[in-house]
Amino acid sequence: MDRLIILVVSAAAAATLAFLVQRRRPNAPIRTGWTVPDQLDRRDFAHPDAPWLVAVFTSASCDSCAAVVDVAKPLASDAVAVDVVEIGEKREVHDRYAVDAVPMVLLVDALGVVRDHHLGPVSAAHLWGSLAELREPGSTPDGCDAGH
């Protein structure tokens, strides 16, 4: 009988301890979206003196990244720097700006302010329209959502 009482008390103590330990550990946060930087240091990217930057964050293992790069590259000009930031080659840039999803295209002004972005696959019409509207407001037709 004494052994049974000791066993029951021990089991109750273990259950209480387990309950208290479990209660102390907070629940993991629920992810509600992806991180999109608000500001970049233009010196981290190609042609920091260009008035506009199109930063394309990619990964070699991303199926849709190559298509987004193909859409962005023709935007390169004296006024627009296009920089492909592949995680395997420039992990420190991905980490610095907490980029946790690709493909991500950032449209950035001369001061490094991210003025617009596209997360995931994007068509040429949407990306080019977004940049055109930023460079010259009112340049896209009324009712045309050049953004997202």
What pLDDT score does 22 carry? 67
Q: Which residue segments constitute the domains of the chain, with CATH numbers given?
A: 42-135 (3.40.30.10)
φ and ψ at 46, to 5 degrees? -60, 145
The residues, ordered by sequence, that sit 6+ positions from 148 with a Cβ below 8 Å of its Cβ are: 118, 126
Tens digits of pLDDT across the chain (148 residues): 777 777 767 877 777 777 766 666 666 666 567 889 999 999 999 999 999 999 999 999 999 999 999 999 999 999 999 999 999 999 999 999 999 899 999 999 999 999 999 999 999 999 999 999 999 888 776 545 544 4
pLDDT confidence of residue 23: 67
Q: Roughly how many angstroms between the first and final C-alpha of the chain, as a whole number?
A: 73
